[in-house]
Amino acid sequence: MSDSLFADASKRLERAMKYISISEDALEYLKYPKSSLIVSIPVRMDNGALRIFPGYRVRYDDTRGPGKGGVRYHPNVSLDEVTSLAFWMTFKCAVLDLPFGGAKGGVTVNPKELSKLELERLTRGYIEAIADFIGPDIDIPAPDVYTNPMVMGWMMDQYNIIKRSLNPAVVTGKPITLGGSVGRNTATGTGAYFTIETLMRKFDRQPHETTVAVQGFGNAGAVVAELLAKTGYKVVAVSDSKGGIYAKKGLDIPSIRHYKESNKGIQAIYCEDSVCNIVEHEIISNEELLALEVDLLIPAALENQITAANVKDIKAKYIFEVANGPISADADADLEARGIYVVPDILVNAGGVTVSYFEWVQNRSGLYWSVEEVNQRLQQKMIKETEKIWQLAEEFDIPMRTAAYVHGLNRLGEALSAKGTRDYYVNG
């Protein structure tokens, strides 16, 4: 277990422990997930064959409220990965002061190999298997890698069929017409943008003088890339799972988004003549993108993209983790030693769970907000917690990652201690 993703994720707590006072009871609680579920999902394929897919749901901690976390469909999904993601979600919700604990789910599958009907059967089968493990007051799933509003709509519908009642708050990230919140689909990228803008001002960085590379041009990466480009940042490289493109003069991000949405890729061509001006560009790999000499690097794909094996190649001045766990713990020290400023995932990508919280509140109240109100509330949340973590980093002279864990641990420790600790029972 020592070389597992979860063990790697847990290392981040060790440094934070030096800067907080937290009960031994609270630390003991946080060593282990509260509950883990492994299921087998039988799916009848279009050709009549039967396939079994492994599925998982982990609720790491629910001291501060119901579990909250996405469901990902990916070939590499495992219990270790889902446990790590649930662990990160626990701290993410605490960092943003949301009334949730941390949870995560997933299915080991390559969704690109399934038809839409097979994907629906898989999704409904997953909910059949975990229906007693989730609920609006227990654990609330949301979108993640290769899951989207349509998938979340199937999940909600299947849960309602099983429970014979209407429960829109059982999942978030649903289609608007099924009770979803406006602004949820772009929330992760938008929240990341608010954090980046807040901190870049503190570094006296002017947008037009700042070059950006974004690894992962999915929902979150594409949104933050476009928002930065509109503000004047020079986005010079983007990539998806098939590869990427680089143009020293900068890329036309809206046109690339249009092309990717129409053609499901960005590697083969820069964009269409009808929607943008062609500029000279290079086709690059994801590994080459990470090693570009840019000011701002945004890993927005999967975990463990920057490790001890390639950390020496990193030349960016600032890294903002839009993906979950894109930098392994053993790479942190090298980046810090070279003065590369890293802003952690548990802050940067928390916009998604924040607007999921807004959606949950709207579902339960029956009162729905405008996109302007959603984005305004999101901006206030992201800036407020970014400022608090920045202040902790300055006060203790520690990296932003450590400061974020200190911030989250303080809130988790207070909640766990409120249940009663050793000192309470021994000393009265």
Q: What is the pLDDT of residues 183-212, one digit of tens each?
A: 999 999 999 999 999 999 999 999 999 999
> Looking at 348, 380, 406, which one is the last position of a domain?
348
Q: Is 385 a member of any domain?
A: no
> Looking at 178, 207, 241, which one is the last position of a domain?
178
Q: What pLDDT sits at residue 16?
A: 79
Asked if residues 406 and 57 have their Cβ atoms less than 8 Å apart, the reply is no
Asked if residues 130 and 105 have their Cβ atoms less than 8 Å apart, the reply is yes
Q: Is 361 a member of any domain?
A: no
Q: Is 367 a member of any domain?
A: no
- 165 and 80 within one domain: yes
- 167 and 85 within one domain: yes
Q: Is 370 a member of any domain?
A: no
What do you get for the CA distance between the two ends of the chain, in Å?
Answer: 38
- 222 and 157 within one domain: no
Q: What pLDDT sits at residue 63?
A: 93
Q: What pLDDT sits at residue 373?
A: 97
> Looking at 178, 202, 230, which one is the last position of a domain?
178
Q: Is 321 a member of any domain?
A: yes
- 157 and 227 within one domain: no
- 205 and 153 within one domain: no
Q: What pLDDT sits at residue 6?
A: 67
Q: Is 371 a member of any domain?
A: no
Q: What is the pLDDT of residues 162-173, one digit of tens each?
A: 999 999 999 999
Q: What pLDDT sits at residue 268?
A: 44
- 318 and 253 within one domain: yes
Q: Is 246 a member of any domain?
A: yes
Helix (H, G, I), strand (E, B) or coil at 152: helix
pLDDT one digit per residue (tens) for the chain, 428 residues? 334 666 766 677 777 778 888 778 888 888 889 999 999 999 999 999 999 999 999 999 999 999 999 999 999 999 999 998 999 899 999 999 999 999 999 999 999 999 999 999 999 999 999 999 999 999 999 999 899 999 999 999 999 999 999 999 999 999 999 999 999 999 999 999 999 999 999 999 999 999 999 999 988 999 999 999 999 999 999 998 888 899 999 999 988 887 777 766 655 444 444 334 445 678 889 999 999 999 999 999 988 899 999 999 999 999 999 998 899 888 998 999 999 999 999 999 999 999 999 999 999 999 999 999 999 999 999 999 999 999 999 999 999 999 999 999 999 988 888 877 777 677 65
Q: What pLDDT sits at residue 278?
A: 42
Total domain count, the chain: 2
Domain that holds residue 173: 33-178
- 317 and 217 within one domain: yes
Q: What pLDDT sits at residue 30?
A: 84
Place of tokens 């029956």: 366
CATH label of the domain that carries residue 298: 3.40.50.720
Element (H, E) at 238: strand 234-240
Model pTM score? 0.89
- 160 and 221 within one domain: no
Q: What pLDDT sits at residue 302?
A: 82
- 218 and 311 within one domain: yes
- 210 and 143 within one domain: no
Element (H, E) at 357: helix 351-365
Contacts 24+ apart (CB under 8 A), 80-83: 80/4, 80/5, 80/6, 81/5, 81/106, 81/303, 82/56, 82/57, 82/58, 82/106, 83/6, 83/33, 83/36, 83/58
Active site residues: 104
- Closest C-alpha among 139, 1, 84, 64 to residue 409: 64
Place of tokens 């020290």: 333
Q: Is 159 a member of any domain?
A: yes
Quote the CA–CA distance of 343 and 320 in Å, as a whole number: 5
- 243 and 155 within one domain: no
- 193 and 337 within one domain: yes
CATH label of the domain that carries residue 139: 3.40.50.10860
